[in-house]
């Protein structure tokens, strides 16, 4: 039976067998770097949360991210059409959590931002372990996508690690799940199941590092009849254990630390992503990028998400290698101060 994440003021650390019933962050014994207990209001302002739902297919790539940074809430949505290189993008930024809500229950709650004729909503349902993304834009663009971890017998990666001297991060991730739903937009109308779309999902929250960076690689799809998804990163969630893993037909395979090799002066040149344990050996050829940069003294962000194709091999410790050929996905290079 699921339990709250925090017990006796401390979080459960490591890879968890199942999601916590709730992320009860106000029960955390939050202290300053010098050991002084923080007031409840300091806990509220230091706690951050975000959620992401992405869809990948040869015909359409899309996704939505929602973040509660306390001083503001941010929503970002995109659609990318590989055949034309065209994109639809929309970003919302609202002060102090206005017109938004963020559930603290990873498997049964709603995170949503709605303002100025735009709605971005992420639903997690315990019944059927179902995830749903609903986006409606003022220009008529609409995306309604969903998948069931239970139906496809997927187990998410649930991990909690320490962050800096006085924090922690809980992350719950899954990738490579067959996706259903519809998209209506200027790029065309799409039935996600009919175009063979696969989904990935990320629910993360905690007392994150004030200043951080990361590289991330993700994909979801079908390779030689095997449903494949991976979540690979460097720079976050790496205290004692990593979040790196991949799924083959729903089976979770844990991976050691990963390395990202790329040209920082030109991120649109080829990348190499590989793991210390030899399970992951990938090349990545960029096709396009979304980027933005903000430097506002107390907060800052340098974000680059690059769309492209992976080639390479995943080699399970106890199974047959899986080859990836011209496999759509993306990588990130990000710095954040929040």
Could you report the per-residue pLDDT of 20-53, keeping only the tens digit for each?
A: 999 999 999 999 999 999 999 999 999 999 999 9
Hey, how many other C-beta atoms are within 10 angstroms of the C-beta on 3? 13
On whether the CB atoms of residues 30 and 42 are closer than 8 A, the answer is yes
Tens digits of per-residue pLDDT, 276-303? Answer: 999 999 999 999 887 777 776 667 778 8
- The reported pLDDT for the residue numbered 299 is 73
- The reported pLDDT for the residue numbered 297 is 64
Kindly give the parts of the chain with pLDDT less than 50. none
Q: Which residue has the tokens 């937009």?
A: 185
Q: CA dist 35 to 41, 165, 299, Å? A: 17, 10, 25
On whether the CB atoms of residues 66 and 51 are closer than 8 A, the answer is yes
- The reported pLDDT for the residue numbered 72 is 86
- The reported pLDDT for the residue numbered 159 is 97
- The reported pLDDT for the residue numbered 96 is 83
3-state secondary structure (DSSP) of residue 128 = helix
- The reported pLDDT for the residue numbered 58 is 95
């Amino acid at each position: 039976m699921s339990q709250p994440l925090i017990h006796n003021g401390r979080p459960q650390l490591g890879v968890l067998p199942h999601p916590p019933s709730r992320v009860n962050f106000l029960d955390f014994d939050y202290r300053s770097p010098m050991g002084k207990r923080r007031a409840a209001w300091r806990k509220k302002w230091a706690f951050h949360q975000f959620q992401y739902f992405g869809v990948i297919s040869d015909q359409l790539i899309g996704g939505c991210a929602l973040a509660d940074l306390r001083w503001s809430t941010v929503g970002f949505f995109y659609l990318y059409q590989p055949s034309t290189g065209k994109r639809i993008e929309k970003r919302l930024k609202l002060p102090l959590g206005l017109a938004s809500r963020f559930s603290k229950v990873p498997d049964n709650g709603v995170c949503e931002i709605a303002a100025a004729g735009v709605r971005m909503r992420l639903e997690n349902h315990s019944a059927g372990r179902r995830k749903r993304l609903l986006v409606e834009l003022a220009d008529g663009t609409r995306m309604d996508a969903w998948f069931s971890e239970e139906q496809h017998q997927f187990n998410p990666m649930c991990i909690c690690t320490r962050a800096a001297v006085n924090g922690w991060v809980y992350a719950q991730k899954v990738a490579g799940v067959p996706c259903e739903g519809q998209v209506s937009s200027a790029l065309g109308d799409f039935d996600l199941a009919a175009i063979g779309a696969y989904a990935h999902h990320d629910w993360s929250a905690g007392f994150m590092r004030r200043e951080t960076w990361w590289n991330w690689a993700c994909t979801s799809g079908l390779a030689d009849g095997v449903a494949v998804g991976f979540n690979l990163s460097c720079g976050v969630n790496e205290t004692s254990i990593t979040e790196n893993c991949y799924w083959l037909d729903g089976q979770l395979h844990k991976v050691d630390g990963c390395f990202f090799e790329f040209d920082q002066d030109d991120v649109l040149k080829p990348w190499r992503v590989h793991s210390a344990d030899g399970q992951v050996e990938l090349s990545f050829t960029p096709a396009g990028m979304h980027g933005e940069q903000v430097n506002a003294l107390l907060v800052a962000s340098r974000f680059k998400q690059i769309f492209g194709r992976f080639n390479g091999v995943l080699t399970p410790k106890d199974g047959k290698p899986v080859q990836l050929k011209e496999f759509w996905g993306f990588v990130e290079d990000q710095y954040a101060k929040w």
